[in-house]
A and B are shown apart, each in its own frame.
Chain A
Amino acid sequence: MATRIDTHPHPVAAHAEATGLVAWLTTVDHKRIGILYGVTAFVFLLVGGLEALLIRLQLALPHQRIVGAEFYNALFTMHGTTMIFLAVMPLNAMFFNYMIPLMIGARDVAFPRLNAFSYWVYLSGGIFINLSFLVGTPPDGGWFGYANLTTRPFSPGPSIDFWVIGLQVLGVSSVVASVNFAVTIMNMRAPGMTLMRMPLFVWMSLIVQFLVVLAFPIITVGLIFLMMDRFFGTHFFDVAAGADLHLWQHVFWAFGHPEVYILILPAFGIVSEVIPTFARKPLFGAPVMIYSGILIAFLGFGVWSHHMFASGMGPVADAAFSIATMLIAIPTGIKIFNWLATLWGGRIHVTTAFRFAAGILGVFTIGGLSGVMHASPPVDLQQTDSYFVVAHMHYVLIGGTLFGIFAGLYYWWPKMTGRLLDERLGRINFWTMFLGFNVAFFPQHFLGALGMPRRIYTYPADAGWTLWNFVSTAGAFVLGLGVALFLVNAALTMRRGARAAGDPWDGRTLEWRTSSPPPVHDFDQIPPVYSRDTFWREKYGDRHGRKPVPRPPMPEPHGIHLPAPSFWPIVAAVGILAAAVGALTHLALVVAGAAVTVVAIFAFALEHHGNPAHAHQVGELAVDHRKLAMWTFLGSECFFFGTLIATYLAYKGRNVVGPHPHEILNLPLTTLSTFDLLMSSLLMVLALAAAQRGDRTQTRLWLAGTVLFGVIFLGFQAWEFTEFVHEGLTLRTNLFGSTFFTLTGFHGGHVAIGVTWLTTLLILDLRGRLTVADALKVEVAGLYWHFVDIVWIAIFTLVYLIP
């Protein structure tokens, strides 16, 4: 049951949130989940930092023997993987979780239990990848995992298996979380908060959610290919079978470059909050800042091959990606200039949060400019795989992202904990990190220019690299000391820091309108929004000093409904972890883990079926959260199937041995199965129409028909697969077998999920538990079903029909 709190007269102070281990394990409160993300991610930040310090120790002097070559490979692989997927992204997720609902005036996220699920799956993925250290086989193929170096013949043993499976687990967490936050931001804004009134951090976060939703399926498909090559003997990266190794690089970087913006845009959002607050001015050119963020994200999908200039793509591709990369500097530059313009004429209050934000203006710009240098193929050819690139990426990811995260930590820490961090210690913290960072990474530009390659575990004494390596190592330890100082500051102030008021910085946005820390329900009354800096305007009025006419609070006749705690998110995540471990140990564990996950998903889905508090989820866009989430997810699925289809097309005609498609594909049979699937879509939409009318007999009839037609389609597919195997075509036969079975197999898997989903609805209906109020559930399932249908329309044409 949902927790119900009456709103009158002063509801909520008396309702403290439950404490204790169980309360944290079952929490669905966005603030607690934010804290869980923050603590976990900071631990991984320390792990990744320790790996970095070991790397720097090894390179401090020539001919060091602190670690061997193989462990050095593992160190840089796990350092990159940990920092990107386990530290920086989740630290950003901490802010998404804690701050977004507060900044948009919501009481939680759209799907609180899915939010908990995302966290527990993230934790599972992080534990799984790091288990590799315990068994002595950490991944060692680089965070980019270039195939075919990462295929079984060149990387035997389980090290890459940990990486390839762990990243898929983390991908599930990221995509689910991002769909959730996209819906939350679009659909749960407080009254009056139009899109253009959203705070910049929320805007940048929204853009990031879409980047995650669209970019992660691309790498997921790449990881699936690699996993299938390693586990099932397919040929996606087998040159002898006709494969093209560029495919991995394209797939990886088509994800990898948007990933850069996934990491940096939240920091841009934080800076856009911190600078106006401490300059006591509105953000200069806020709409242009928003459009710039959108443009960065859009262009971010068209620049990936600048990571591959050295791979020999040819002049046309080089020119296209070079121009796109240079273009992206324009919206980025706009942001820098607008922050400067915001500072201009401001009454600046220099705090630690401000220092970190202002620091970004300097050091991120250095990283941005060296990035523009890489946009030029001839220059890139000189710099690629040298320490110049290492310097560039760290100026972006530390000087931009990590400094942004620390700005956010110092800015929002009082809101999250109710205590102020010590400013004097904070000042030392900033300058230590700033100094250490620049001493560590600026010399790496010189090392790159002097020709020092990346990823070498040692170097000769006469190479001329010793001095700058030593300086770089010293800087890295100073940077590490800076991070430790933050921990000291946090530990000291958590016990005896000054108590923070609700609005300690004289803030501008809604999160400062509630207490520090906020009550469990965030706001006693959902605040109306009058402008982008709405809280500032409430306090001080507009530039003429005119305050908005206070609007009466929204009536909440049914009280405040907070989502109830649930065990199922953590149970589902444990199932996924067990299945992942099973993939490397015993098939029985895979089956057991999958079974636990499936049971948990069903229990999760049915936990609140029939609960009236969950029936009405229409938000600010006049669309139900669930429907908006499904459409957002289907956008993600376009990328998933798009990558599978692109791979099929890329490898078409590259078979070294038969059978070939024209020898084996059965067109009449597939035309029939296509007709069957199309007609299932008709039955599905008839079922929905009946459900909306409340006609239970017809709902049942058409749902059963859809399920039947779905099963028939699966029967066609099973028959086709069996025939092909009899004719000598399997996953392992040739490239056609690998690409065909993977593409159509994943489609078939989607059909099977759809059949299961619709069967569940049918059973609910037969038991009298599907009412007219549940029509939306039929509609959402129907959207998924129709999507499976349209994917097949594309597959039918591209695989079967086109000669």
Chain B
Amino acid sequence: MDRDLHPRVPDPVVAEAEAHSGGHAGVAIYVKVAVILTVITALEFAVLYIRALTPIVVPLLLVMSAGKFALVVLFFMHLRYDSRVLSLVFVGPLLIAIGIVVALTTLTGAFLVYGR
């Protein structure tokens, strides 16, 4: 293979080595992530019962949820370790989809950014 013509195709030797290691995080990292996910889930449940947090409970829950979402995507789905193209084809649509969710809920009056 002409390496100049295939700049992004990995070297076969390196690729073979990566294939065996998976090119991803190790088991210890996975377990740590699972523990963090468990803790956040417990916190999500708990904050609902802490009266002092009532004014900020919605943003707090959204931040915790986003954190869990990101942990699964980055570590369990390996986006942190994989090709940036994969990040592009997922994160781009995800952001547009979130924009459309916000717009739809706003336009139907469920979440009013502005008055009608």
Contact check, A623 vs B20: say whether CB atoms are below 8 A apart. no
Known A623-B86, A635-B89, A678-B37; contact A671-B108, beta-carbon cutoff 8 A: no
A186 within 8 A of B: yes
Residues of A within 8 A of B61 (CB): 797, 801-802
Residues of B within 8 A of A678 (CB): 34, 37-38, 41, 68, 72
Interface segment, A454-462, A513-521, A682-690?
A682-690
Proximity bits, A623-646, B CB within 8 Å = 1, else 0: 100011001101110110011011
Among B2, B38, B89, B97, contact of A639 (Cβ-Cβ < 8 Å): B97
In the complex, chain A residues 249-274 whose Cβ is within 8 Å of any chain B Cβ:
250-251, 254
Among A254, A668, A689, A798, contact of B104 (Cβ-Cβ < 8 Å): A254
Q: Whole-angstrom distance between the alpha carbons of A750 and B15 in the complex?
A: 33
Contact check, B48 vs A801: say whether CB atoms are below 8 A apart. yes
Contact check, B5 vs A797: say whether CB atoms are below 8 A apart. no
Known A650-B108, A678-B38, A790-B73; contact A671-B89, beta-carbon cutoff 8 A: no
Closest to A785 in B: B76
Contact check, B94 vs A783: say whether CB atoms are below 8 A apart. no
Among B41, B65, B100, B110, contact of A675 (Cβ-Cβ < 8 Å): B41
Among A214, A316, A653, A789, contact of B96 (Cβ-Cβ < 8 Å): A214
Q: Whole-angstrom distance between the alpha carbons of A790 and B97 in the complex?
A: 14
Q: Whole-angstrom distance between the alpha carbons of A244 and B92 in the complex?
A: 29
Among A623, A682, A689, A787, contact of B83 (Cβ-Cβ < 8 Å): A623
Known A186-B85, A214-B93; contact A682-B76, beta-carbon cutoff 8 A: yes
A449 within 8 A of B: no
Residues of A within 8 A of B86 (CB): 623, 627-628, 631
A777 within 8 A of B: no
In the complex, chain B residues 35-94 whose Cβ is within 8 Å of any chain A Cβ:
37-38, 41-42, 44-45, 48, 57-58, 61-62, 64-65, 68-69, 72-73, 75-77, 82-83, 85-86, 89-90, 92-94
Q: Whole-angstrom distance between the alpha carbons of A635 and B89 in the complex?
A: 7
Residues of A within 8 A of B101 (CB): 642-643, 645-646, 649
Among B5, B22, B38, B83, contact of A191 (Cβ-Cβ < 8 Å): B5
Closest to B105 in A: A649
Q: Whole-angstrom distance between the alpha carbons of A797 and B41 in the complex?
A: 10
Contact check, A631 vs B62: say whether CB atoms are below 8 A apart. no
Contact check, A314 vs B22: say whether CB atoms are below 8 A apart. no
- Which of the listed residues B5, B8, B82 has the most CB atoms from chain A within 10 Å of its own CB? B5
Contact check, A793 vs B68: say whether CB atoms are below 8 A apart. yes
Closest to B38 in A: A675
Q: Whole-angstrom distance between the alpha carbons of A598 and B95 in the complex?
A: 33
Q: Whole-angstrom distance between the alpha carbons of A313 and B116 in the complex?
A: 7
Interface segment, A30-38, A415-423, A614-622?
A614-622
Among A182, A628, A643, A793, contact of B100 (Cβ-Cβ < 8 Å): A643
- The number of chain B residues with a CB under 8 A from chain A is 65
Closest to A787 in B: B77
A305 within 8 A of B: yes
Q: How large is the interface on A (under 10, 10 to 19, 20 to 34, 35 or more residues)?
A: 35 or more
Q: Whole-angstrom distance between the alpha carbons of A620 and B83 in the complex?
A: 12
Contact check, B34 vs A679: say whether CB atoms are below 8 A apart. yes
A192 within 8 A of B: yes
Among A620, A636, A692, A798, contact of B20 (Cβ-Cβ < 8 Å): A692
Contact check, B114 vs A316: say whether CB atoms are below 8 A apart. yes
B1 within 8 A of A: yes
Contact check, B30 vs A671: say whether CB atoms are below 8 A apart. no
Q: Whole-angstrom distance between the alpha carbons of A628 and B90 in the complex?
A: 10
Known A313-B107, A646-B100; contact A628-B89, beta-carbon cutoff 8 A: yes
A223 within 8 A of B: no
Proximity bits, A126-168, B CB within 8 Å = 1, else 0: 0000000000000000000000000000000000000000000
Q: How far is the CB of B65 from chain A (nearest CB, A)?
A: 4
Among B89, B103, B107, contact of A632 (Cβ-Cβ < 8 Å): B89
Residues of B within 8 A of A794 (CB): 65, 69
Residues of A within 8 A of B33 (CB): 682
Q: How far is the CB of B41 from chain A (nearest CB, A)?
A: 6
Q: Whole-angstrom distance between the alpha carbons of A794 and B98 in the complex?
A: 11
Residues of B within 8 A of A621 (CB): 8, 83, 85
Q: How far is the CB of A238 from chain B (nearest CB, A)?
A: 15
Residues of A within 8 A of B109 (CB): 244, 650
Residues of A within 8 A of B42 (CB): 671
Proximity bits, A202-243, B CB within 8 Å = 1, else 0: 000000001001100010000000000000000000000000
List 26 A-B residue pairs with CB atoms under 8 Å apart, sorted by A's residue number.
A182-B89, A191-B5, A244-B108, A244-B109, A250-B108, A254-B104, A298-B96, A301-B100, A302-B103, A316-B114, A621-B85, A622-B9, A635-B92, A636-B93, A649-B101, A650-B104, A650-B110, A667-B48, A671-B41, A686-B30, A775-B19, A786-B72, A786-B73, A797-B61, A802-B61, A803-B48
Q: Please list the 9 inter-chain residue pairs (A to B) with the smallest Cβ-Cβ separation, ordered nearest first.
A: A635-B93, A191-B5, A797-B65, A642-B97, A650-B108, A646-B104, A682-B34, A692-B22, A638-B97
Known: A551-B5, A642-B98. 19 other contacts (CB 8 A): A301-B99, A302-B103, A316-B115, A554-B1, A618-B15, A628-B85, A635-B92, A639-B100, A642-B100, A671-B45, A678-B72, A682-B76, A689-B22, A797-B64, A797-B65, A801-B44, A801-B48, A801-B65, A802-B57
